[in-house]
A and B are shown apart, each in its own frame.
Chain A
Amino acid sequence: MNAGVLRFKKAGIILFWLLIWQAASTAVHNSIILVGPLDVILALLNQIRLADFWKTIGFSFGKISLGFLSAFAAGILAGGAACRYPIIGDFLSPLMALMKSVPVASFVILALIWAGSENLSVIIGFLVVFPIIYIQTIAGIKSTDRQLLEMADVFKMSEAKRFFYLYRPALLPYLASGCRVALGMSWKSGIAAEVIGVPLHSIGEKLYLSKIYLNTADLFAWTLVIILLSALLESFFLWLLSLASPGIRQKKKEVG
């Protein structure tokens, strides 16, 4: 099946579900319980014209991205340190178990008490993403080919060369798969935190207001915005990671 037919098939499937959605909303005939896709698009178009819409997007996107990026950097550093010095891994182990098992809602309430609502999504994004990246980093480093490491010992390769040529290619697929999970999680938990903490000019606040005013169209419109922003950040970040993959120049040459 060629690409054009595949795209056509995909578009047809999406259109089918949109029609089902529109038919269901028409049948329900209650804009509080279920709005149709046309109402959602209208609500979104109404929002897009407002400066507050872009300010809200900027706020939540910035905070959640900051939480994700800081956790990404910290997770790699901590994972690398834990592989180099196992004692660090031993010390971090209970902390990781705690971060993985404590419900996000508990963290949200604690973060609200300790830091207020302004940076809530940064903190929650960090707490959710950090253990994922930490675990993936350790798994990636441990997957490095042992025979290549012996080769590096025999040829007395420097630490920098070992990282660049041996660890990096082993690590990147693990980081990419970790990022796919972590990015979605950071958005879900970050927005959930904003709904609980209701920081001003956040997407969470807008969702909260939609609930208060029973404005289902706005709720759906903001949900659509969240999905788009999450997909955008994921595509951009995975593209950045792919640039760090070995062989990218060769692939480009082959394509060119």
Chain B
Amino acid sequence: MELVIRKLCKSFGGHFVLDQVNLHLVSGNIYCLMGPSGSGKTTLFHILLGLVSADSGEVNGLNGERISAVFQENRLCEAFTPVENVTMVMPSSGNNKRKAREALKRLLPDESLDRPAVTLSGGMKRRVAIIRALMVPFDMVIMDEPFTGLDEETKQQVITYIKEQSAGRLVLISTHQEEDVQLLNGIKIHL
């Protein structure tokens, strides 16, 4: 997959959040989008996800491609368990529960898997959101500050998991931390 963004612009109330953004992204790489708060990272992600339309510019390469996402907010269904939160987005299949449980066990304690998400800590919820994004079939995954609320050890585990599950696909991650680029073996891009 090849994603080409040309001269992308988006403004809110006359203020340009994205101004002539150009990017060229290719499958098999992890791109780390760097930039201060308010630089338009989330807006760019929302345009790519089809949640917001751009004022002008072009986005090529998304036709028919499957995009998955970790939102800036976890966006979990809080009354449901981590297993249910993962299976609800997976295409229907007989062994979704088993697959979801196995994936969740890698990053979460066993006892947390059957509790409503509302009872989980912020870091646990973040991990559920990351696993959910990686358990659906995808060609590209967008992750908006996925390491928020994770301690260093957990972050390492999550990075290993992301690299393993997204191999060969296009990964676009926003982060504030320079060290994340090295940990992810990523390519740094600035907005």
- Show the binding face of A for B, using Cβ within 8 Å: 147-148, 150-151, 153-155, 157-158, 161, 165-166, 169, 245-247, 250, 253
Contacts and interface: CB of A to CB of B under 8 A. Distances in A.
Interface in B88-102: 88-89, 92
Most central of A150, A153, A161, A166 by chain B CB within 10 Å: A150
20 contacts: A147-B71, A147-B73, A150-B71, A150-B75, A151-B89, A154-B49, A154-B50, A154-B67, A154-B68, A154-B69, A155-B132, A155-B136, A157-B89, A158-B92, A165-B84, A169-B77, A245-B79, A246-B116, A247-B116, A250-B81
Contacts of A165: 77, 80, 84, 88
A250 B111 CA distance: 12
B74 to A, nearest CB: 9
Interface of B: 49-51, 67-69, 71, 73, 75, 77, 79-81, 84, 88-89, 92, 114-116, 132, 136
Nearest to A254: B115
A150 B51 contact: yes
A157 B115 CA distance: 22
Contacts of A154: 49-51, 67-69
A247 B79 CA distance: 6
A166 B68 contact: no
Nearest to B117: A247
A168 B79 CA distance: 11
A60 B103 CA distance: 55
Nearest to B90: A155
Given A150-B49, A157-B89, 7 more contacts: A150-B71, A154-B50, A154-B68, A158-B92, A165-B84, A169-B77, A253-B114
A246 B79 contact: yes
B127 to A, nearest CB: 16
Contacts of B88: 157, 161, 165
